[in-house]
Amino acid sequence: MWAEIILTGIGLSMDAFAVAVCKGLGMRRIDKAKAVIIGLYFGTFQAVMPIAGWLLGSRFIRYIESVDHWIAFGLLAFIGIKMIVEAVRESENDTGEIIMDQPLDHREMLLLAVATSIDALAVGISFAAIGTPIFPSAEIIGFITFILSIIGVYVGNRFGRVYEKRACILGGVILTGIGIKILFEHLLLKP
């Protein structure tokens, strides 16, 4: 059972990892404090959402399933398109240098954390249905996401040194693609 929860945590954290890679792209040098804050945002939401889903229980699944994919799609597409537009329009200052090391936008981080953890809400509902102990499961999922998000910042920073502008555009495309994937998976699997 615990191996399955660890694998679930890894699977749930992949969206957060992708976003963390994008955040690492915008750092000239690794900012350890920012990396930890990014990890805390994603790890916290990935831990809280399964608990919320578990508390809602399986009797509310039809209400959540009817809108979760639209919420995730809307948030991810909005952030992804915003990243692309900013990379194309605002990534160069007057001297042609890439703008780096911008402060974290906590509102954006909150939206990203919610968008990447919507699936964890559904996982919490399924945990309630099968009787999985929620609190240790949520701790494992949150911790895995926290660690992988920090790793994602480092990976993005290393990759971003070579392909900064293109990588930011690619990151926006990836986020938008994840949103589209979530939407189509739910629409195609809809009975």
Q: Going from the first residue of the chain to its last (191 residues), give the mean pLDDT of each consecutive group of 10, the final group possibly shorter.
A: 84 85 84 95 96 80 68 73 73 50 86 88 78 92 96 86 62 75 74 55
- Total number of domains in the chain: 1
Is there a contact between 185 and 69 (Cβ–Cβ < 8 Å)?
Answer: yes
What integer pLDDT is reported at residue 47 of this predicted model? 97
What integer pLDDT is reported at residue 9 of this predicted model? 87
The runs of H, that is alpha helices, within the chain are 2-25, 32-56, 61-65, 68-89, 106-130, 134-189
Residue 78's Cα: distance from chain center in Å?
13
Please, what is the angle between helix 2-25 and helix 106-130, to 10°?
A: 170
Q: Residue 162: give the domain boundaries.
A: 2-189
The pTM (predicted TM-score) of the whole model is 0.71
What integer pLDDT is reported at residue 150 of this predicted model? 96
